[in-house]
Structure 1
Amino acid sequence: MTVPALAFAAPGTAVGEAGPVELAAATAEPAAEEGRARVSGKLAAGSTVLASAVRDGVVLCSGQYNPVGDVVEVVGVGTLPSARRQGLALGVTAALVAEARTRGARTVFLSAGDEAVARVYARIGFRRVATALIAEPPADPAG
């Protein structure tokens, strides 16, 4: 998922530098092919659903959801930094939620990277209900 990788490298909602040229370069990298293969496998298995906003053949925003029973997590919604502030992430997220509901999801959740992003999601009905915490392995003292 090249667009989200570029988006998350420049977090937030402000318009950024990375655009179609950077996307084309990143897409040509071997790691991008591995990512496409991984997502293709998940799509084929039904363990993820993908939505994107495309203009003139260029993916400007994409995201996924991962269903488990009637619970769905929306993940990896990212907009190419040069295409931000056009409502693309809002549209992709709304499409993912609508599709999940059509397929029987009763609970749809996501995690926002910061308050500005949380405000975007609030515009389509998400509300804060808890705080997510992450457990990571202890740091290796050997460095």
Structure 2
Amino acid sequence: MDHRIQQSVVANLSSRPAPLGVGPFVIGFDPGTDSPHINYATPRPGATITPGDVTDLVAAFRDAGRKPRLEYVTSCAPGLEDLLTTAGFRVEERHDYLVCSPGTLATAPAPDGFRLSEPVTDQQRMAMVGAQNEAFGGEPTATDADAARVRRQQEAGGVAVMAVDGDGTCAGGGQAVPPNDGISEVAGIAVRPPFRRRGLAGAITAAVTGRLFATGAEVAWLEASGEDSWRVYERVGYRPAGKRLYIALDAG
């Protein structure tokens, strides 16, 4: 499973607006944002990687005016972390990834007073991204580029789901990238602070995942960053399957 998950990350980054291959790496550049959580690299699973490859990777990020950063399944590049830390990279996070299949997915209906739907206008897409930004500690705003990014993802076969209350306020949302080889990453599951502890995160996760499987996807995967999110994901049918690393190089 590790190899399939890592290959799905390679495919996802390769579909970005301006992907770049640098030796054994793929960088998913997006000119519409300088966010390091969108503009990052990953190694091709099983590729041989040298210190020179890391030097070339850093240079490619610098040339693009982006922060050098990688996300990857650790077992698919077992010596890479040492190469990166020797080059000055620092570990940001170590996360477990969890997987779900149609046979393990559990239903989780929206709590009373909320409805779940896919955003179909750019205004709705911006409302969803703004809610996600707020939920993750940022400003509750979004741009036309954010809406375009979500729209491209949907048009390519990805999924987006927003939760809306009775007043039409977007309470949260979640997304999934277009499946590759039957696998898709679910990400951005977020609920704004005033709407938490009502079951929305589980309902959003289940809705995104269910829509993926309805399109023919075989495996959905996501990451748990803490005990609370772990419990939410396990309740809707996700199970731990492997380890991922986030690692970046500060400006210099």
2:144 is matched with 33
Q: In 1, distance between residues paired with 2:156 and 2:220?
A: 20
| RMSD over equivalenced CA pairs, Å | 1.8
| One of 53, 59, 65 as aligned partner of 2:170 | 59
**SS, match of residue 189 in structure 2:** strand
Instruction: After TM superposition, give the deviation of residue 53 of structure 1 in Å.
Output: 1.2
Identity %: 34
Q: Which has the larger radius of gyration?
A: 2
Instruction: After TM superposition, give the deviation of residue 57 of structure 1 in Å.
Output: 1.0
Unaligned runs of 5+ in 1: 11-21
Q: In 2, distance between residues paired with 1:38 and 1:65?
A: 12
1:87 is matched with 199
1:44 is matched with 155
Deviations 1:118-138 (A, max 9, x none): 1111111111122211243x3
Deviations 1:29-54 (A, max 9, x none): xx5332112212222233x2101111
TM-score, structure 1 as length reference: 0.76
Instruction: After TM superposition, give the deviation of residue 114 of structure 1 in Å.
Output: 1.1
2:134 is matched with 6
2:239 is matched with 127
Q: Give the structure with the larger strand fraction.
A: 2
Aligned letter for 1:41? R
Q: Give the structure with the larger helix fraction.
A: 1
